[in-house]
Copies of this chain bind each other. A is one copy, B any other.
């Protein structure tokens, strides 16, 4: 019998307890012994829970119990998650977490502690919910030099964009619907402003490139500025707008990493990933593109990924899984303004013909997008690929020539 503790009895934590209970037989077959939930840490009371007797409000019960070899962290947030996880790892207890914020902020440090105490720090559930992604990148694609990872990493924003694309629903209505369906929080900022996707692409980038990339180094745009007009122009262009987290290796010391809405071409596998689903493309030098698709959130998908980590921890109580990356000072991140991209621009002016002439004079060749029923004041076009600072300069010139810019969205190279 192996004793585990679960810290946090919210959506994911209660799902972990549920799966350990409902899938007992299958899990017994997988590890060869029973997994026993000895403690559940939560400040709230759960008198109706089948595990009611095992609840504790005292973290030290878990920390000081030598029988507890594996601890699950599903509290979320940074504190006290960080302090608790660190203390467990220092005691040589393995930790399995679904907490992307924690991994993105403290991954390098916690992995280093785990390495010192021969414990495991695993976080399959932190990216892509139930989609296998951390282990496949780390183990299955180990014989590849990964050059790029790009993904739809946030289900809430993908649901909102899908409603805008398929049903011409406005952003505000789509957000409201997402909240009603429980896909979006009452305070949706972390999702719609791209911070959640940013944490996830940071974790994937750290894993693939071996250096911790901190979220504050990553240029992050959300989807709050996307209009139905932009959605329609994307369709005219032959694609859809998706919120993409992307990282590319430019050379051995430089990565280009960003979270932003992008025009995704219809041929891309990522263009068909709708609703709350996530999809992640990993480009390896041997495999070419590999895409992983599934439910990126939700109680049981996420909890089942945590349970897979528990199993793996139990099977590697003595031999550590190889999973680590070095700390870094973010110096390998290309400054956002040097990132090269083609750009969709929707401009407004009183005189469309004159605006087009000015655009050509400033941007050179652009690809005009013509949409039936577009206002006569609107000019939508796609620039050639160029560094972002150059686009900014040209956009400023356009503005001083009397043409204002209503939207600009990157063209994804996917």
Residues of B within 8 A of A305 (CB): 140, 143, 287
116-173 of chain A: CB within 8 A of chain B: 124, 130-132, 135-136, 139-145
Residue of B nearest to A129 (CB): B287
Residue of B nearest to A131 (CB): B290
Tell me the number of copies of this protein.
2
Q: Is the interface of A mostly helix, strand, loop or mixed?
A: mixed
A136 touches B140 (CB 8 A): yes
Residue of B nearest to A298 (CB): B288
Residues of B within 8 A of A294 (CB): 287-291
Residues of B within 8 A of A272 (CB): 269, 272
Residues of B within 8 A of A19 (CB): 143, 286
Residue of B nearest to A133 (CB): B140
A308 to B322, CA, bound (A): 13
B141 touches A132 (CB 8 A): yes
Residues of B within 8 A of A141 (CB): 132, 304, 308
Residue of B nearest to A319 (CB): B319
A272 to B301, CA, bound (A): 24
Binding stretch for chain B, among A22-30, A60-68, A353-361:
A22-30
Residue of B nearest to A18 (CB): B286
| CB-CB under 8 A for A139 and B286, given A23-B145, A26-B145, A145-B26 | no
Chain A interfacial positions (CB closer than 8 Å to B): 19, 23, 26-27, 29-30, 124, 130-132, 135-136, 139-145, 210, 269, 272, 284-295, 298, 300-301, 303-305, 307-308, 311-312, 315-316, 318-319, 322
